[in-house]
Amino acid sequence: MPLLIKSFLLSFILHLATIYLCPKFKICLDTSLKPQRVHKKSIPRAGGFPIFLSFLVLAFLKSPFLGPKLIFCSLPIFIGGFLEDITQKLSYKHRFAFMFLATLFFVYFFKNFIVTDLGFINLTYPLGIVFTIFALIGITNAFNLIDGINGLTSGLTLQIFLTLWLLSMENSLDTYLPLLEILIGSTLVFFIFNFFFNKIFLGDSGSYLLGFLSGVLTIFVVKSSSASPWVPMVLMFYPIWETLFSIFRRLKDGKNPFLPDREHFHHLLYEFFESSHFKTTTVLLLVQGLISLVVIKFYKNTAILISTFVSLIMLYFLTYKILKKKG
């Protein structure tokens, strides 16, 4: 049986159990009234649990070289997020500490994957360590920040994993294929339950986990091939740019950059589509699909990738301004 199917089936069983048990024992239910909340019912926010457990079991068995190390690195990310899912009171400082620990594990276990080539400048190895830690913490938070619309974070992540799988196939990077197939299968199950049936949310454990693993696996593929160092910036454009712009916007307005609000691009689009999760996510996933096609076609061409990144920023600002006026 193909590994992707095994992952899908295991994740399916674990998702069913999570969806049934959380309400029964009244744990990990999203009952908060946070500003970014757009749903009305109390739904389990424990999607990270079945995804992580599927990954833990299958990565350990099917990827004995990378799997155990990557599981160990991911563990603090999952624990920190899961504690927030249970208590809904964990401060961002404590969550940051868990992320920092995970990135320290990464730079220790994967010394050959420190990011030093930024395309326009080469960092020294010590500076590369600092940059890698900063980048991984940033992308981990970025995926959590965009997790406000059903299917958005998981749908984007699925496309990222699929793109990395295709790049791995093209560059004969067989080591990464099992990990990507496991994550595609387990994340697809969540996407179905979340996007089509609204039965479960990622929670912080899920969004942090998918963000961290997306960042790590992108580093693996880029560093192991002739891919441009700009691949991560383009492939993960929306979470990266939405985070950077949100920080700037909040600071400009004199607000705490770490506190959530409903001024994100996906929230404005959600209001434009009259509170339709389906339309909002579909539009953003179609854009991500086009981005993925550009990356697959031009993953070696830094000039085209930079041009794409700049064009996406311009499109973002133009659309954001239009949506803001209509809102």
Asked whether the beta carbons of 231 and 249 are under 8 A apart, the reply is no
Q: Is 112 exposed, middle or buried (0-12, 13-18, 19+ CB in 10 A)?
A: exposed
Asked, for residue 310, whether it belongs to a domain, the answer is yes
Of residues 111, 38, 114, the one with CA closest to residue 69:
111
- In this prediction, residues 300-322 reach a mean pLDDT of 97
Tell me the torsion sign for CA atoms 275, 21, 193, 11: positive
The whole-number pLDDT of residue 324 equals 92
Dist CA 109 CA 94 (whole Å):
23
Residue ranges at the known binding site: 144, 204
Asked whether the beta carbons of 264 and 36 are under 8 A apart, the reply is yes
Asked, for residue 35, whether it belongs to a domain, the answer is no
Number of domains in the chain: 1
Give the three-state DSSP class for 224: coil
Asked whether the beta carbons of 238 and 284 are under 8 A apart, the reply is yes
All residues at 6 or more sequence positions from 286 whose CB lies less than 8 Å from its CB, including other chains: none
Asked, for residue 116, whether it belongs to a domain, the answer is no
- Please, which residues bridge with residue 122 across strands? 117
pLDDT in tens, 28-39: 987 755 554 555
Asked, for residue 33, whether it belongs to a domain, the answer is no
pLDDT in tens, 213-227: 999 999 999 999 999
Asked, for residue 203, whether it belongs to a domain, the answer is yes
pLDDT category of residue 255 using cuts at 50, 70 and 90: confident
Asked whether the beta carbons of 302 and 118 are under 8 A apart, the reply is no
Tell me the torsion sign for CA atoms 225, 231, 235, 236: positive
Of residues 58, 44, 68, 65, the one with CA closest to residue 11:
58
- Reading phi first (left if > 0) and then psi (alpha if -120 to 50, else beta), residue 173 is in beta
pLDDT in tens, 98-123: 999 999 999 999 999 999 999 889 99
DSSP 79: H
Asked, for residue 259, whether it belongs to a domain, the answer is yes
Selected residue with higher pLDDT from 260 and 267:
267
pLDDT in tens, 124-149: 999 999 999 999 999 999 999 999 99
Asked, for residue 93, whether it belongs to a domain, the answer is yes
Residue ranges at the known binding site for Mg(2+): 144, 204
Asked whether the beta carbons of 20 and 195 are under 8 A apart, the reply is no
Q: Which domain holds residue 217?
A: 3-27+42-110+121-326
Q: Is 218 exposed, middle or buried (0-12, 13-18, 19+ CB in 10 A)?
A: buried
Give the number of residues written for the chain: 327
Around 242, how many Cα atoms within 13 Å sit in the side-chain half-sphere? 27
Asked, for residue 90, whether it belongs to a domain, the answer is yes
The pTM score is 0.96
